[in-house]
Amino acid sequence: MIGGGLYVGGYWSLVSLKDARLVLIVWLVGGLHAICGAIAYGAIANRLPVSGGEYSYLTRCVHPAVGFVAGWISIIAGFTAPIAVPALLIGKFLTGTEATTNSVKVIATASIAFAAILHGCHIRLGAWFNNGVIAVKLICFAVFLFVGLPFVMRGTYTGLLVDTSVPVEELPTLAARLLDPSTLLQMVASLFYISLAYTGFNASIYLAGEIEGPSTSTGNTRKLVSRSMLLASILVVIIYLLLNYVFLYGMSAEQIAASGESYVAPVAQNIGGDWLAFMIRTAIVLSAATSILAMMAIGPMVYAQMAEDGNLPKFFRMSDQVPRTAIMVQAILSIIVVWISQIKDIVTYLGLTLTACGALAVSSVWIARRFMAEQSPIKWYEHLAAAIYVGVAVLLLLVAGSLERERNQFYLCAGTFAVGLLIYGVNVARKRYLS
């Protein structure tokens, strides 16, 4: 979950909201949304433990057409572009140049290729390597917070990006801003960026059919998936709030705005000097690396499952328990995105598209209620969590459609769904013709 969105979402939100307190509230709301999603996804995973994520759930519980669209979105928006974004971040922070330079794109390409080769050998090998990188990354975060929290708690900076000629006491209070409809609209718009940082909360479901429990009990196996999502979401919310508290108050809001998307390293420099800046750069690179490794592991599972169901060519199926062809194709698609896109161009699109697809999957709790109830009655808190997750997703789509600056991303999101339906129709027609 902890990937590139952590390091850019706060900057864009601060520039929009001009108040670090509001930005932290948005991070909290995004986290609570992810926790609700984890509970709702867990409700499905506990009753239908199959690999393939949204594709498998919607195909089995709703309709093959809806499932195919979800699989299509997983391939394009769920993995291809999100693998490209952290790869570009690795190149950007290693070279210190903009993401549009060839040197950045070459490093990004090499990062993706390395992850593909690692997982192509064996998924378990890639998983162990990924766990090791995560451990080092969390140590970097712990050291950064150990040094940064005392620094910001001394209250050196206000976190306000406002006209410095206006006295602080004359500015609107936090309560007044929260009651302002325009501020609330801006906060919802900021969720476009921040929601991307939480989208990995449901990664476990893509491997649900491959996970072995501590015993032969199927119930224990299923609970591993739901618990992993819930506990990871809670832990990441805490980490995000603490890190963003230091990021946003580690130097003045004006300096943050001037530093741009790479503001995190200058903040660390201001707090602890060169060594802390180096450490946070290391954490950023490792965060990006773990995102690539995780998505390169779970993305091809969707290809493999779709191939098993006859919706993709047979060569995407597992080979010796490893979807090697799917891994290769996933890597190639992500490398193409690296060379044709920029980070900011795809972040809002990803946040909207993945949240919408997630809401569609979560709604299967109700659409296939009878099927779910046969396994185990759906609990009240699972219904509530699903309702909150879907409700926020619908709100995001409505706001995106109403804001002129986000409308193109809304149309692109809708277009992705429409293209998926078109491809499904062509595929069905082809099968009928061949039969």
Domains and CATH numbers, the chain: 5-434 (1.20.1740.10)
Helix (H, G, I), strand (E, B) or coil at 62: coil
Task: For CA atoms 298, 355, 345, 269, give the dihedral sign.
Answer: negative
Predicted pLDDT of residue 216: 44
CB 306 within 8 A of CB 52: yes
Helix (H, G, I), strand (E, B) or coil at 63: coil
CB 19 within 8 A of CB 303: no
The amino acid sitting at 179 is L
Predicted pLDDT of residue 130: 72
Q: What is the dihedral of CA 61, 62, 68, 74, to 10 degrees?
A: -70
Tally of CA atoms within 13 A in the half-sphere of 69 that contains its CB = 23
* Cα(297)–Cα(301) distance, integer angstroms: 7
Q: Which of 325, 341, 332 is nearest to 88 (CA)?
A: 341
Tally of CA atoms within 13 A in the half-sphere of 420 that contains its CB = 23
Helix (H, G, I), strand (E, B) or coil at 319: strand
Q: What is the dihedral of CA 156, 157, 163, 166, to 10 degrees?
A: -50
User: Which residues of the chain, if any, have pLDDT below 50?
Assistant: 215-218
Q: Which of 254, 373, 299, 305 is nearest to 15 (CA)?
A: 254
DSSP H stretches of helix in 46-159:
54-61, 64-73, 81-95, 102-121, 123-153
CB 88 within 8 A of CB 105: yes
Predicted pLDDT of residue 135: 86
